[in-house]
Amino acid sequence: MLCRNAHRIVASSLIVALVVVTAPAFAAPAPATLTGTVYADDVITPLAGATVVVTDVNGVKLASQPTSADGTFTVAAVTPGHSALAIETKEGSFAVATPVTLAPGETRGVHLALKASTASKEKKKTKGGASWTGGEIAAMSAVLVGFVAAGWIGYDQTHEASPYTPPSGN
């Protein structure tokens, strides 16, 4: 009888130890954070008052955050994994074509910009004005200009990445 009780105690202890050791593996993953700056079409002017929206691959909204006066934002507590981004302005919502993958606990920095279509740019040239009308805004899209961790990457007309250094305030 004593031997049988000893076996039960040892077996119970092993089960408890196994649960304690493997519990962190079953815990929810640490949330990720997305930070960055949103720029206007010129990729120089910060876009204040826009909202950065993070969705999962099924389009379910995970989190959002408005940009500050200098175009910066921080979206905290984002579920790790593949995410899609969008920029919402008073003119509409513009999906970012490049998805972002966030690891548990990761803080990822991105630069986003609204980009006018070629037809919109031609209208602007012929009108001679620098302001956009509603029709031109509708012809815009949002682009991921670069990842902060990888350095600033500019977006040129051929859609190839190229080094970019933001101009100084002079």
Q: What is the pLDDT along the chain (170 residues), one digit of tens a residue?
A: 566 777 777 667 767 666 666 656 566 789 999 999 999 988 899 999 999 999 998 889 999 999 999 999 999 999 999 999 999 998 899 999 889 999 999 999 999 998 876 554 444 444 444 444 444 444 677 888 877 643 333 433 333 333 444 455 54
83, 56 contact by CB (below 8 A)? yes
Q: Collapsing DSSP states into helix, strand and coil, what is residue 12?
A: helix
Q: Which two tokens stand for residue 43?
A: 């990729």
Q: Is residue 3 part of a domain?
A: no
Q: Is residue 18 part of a domain?
A: no
Task: Tell me the residue range of the domain where 135 lies.
Answer: 32-163
Q: Is residue 1 part of a domain?
A: no
Q: Which two tokens stand for residue 3?
A: 């031997």
Q: Is residue 84 part of a domain?
A: yes
CATH assignment of the domain containing 53? 2.60.40.10
Tally of domains in the chain: 1
Q: Is residue 156 part of a domain?
A: yes
Spatial separation of the C-alpha atoms in residues 72 and 110, rounded to whole Å? 10
Fill in the DSSP letter of residue 44: S
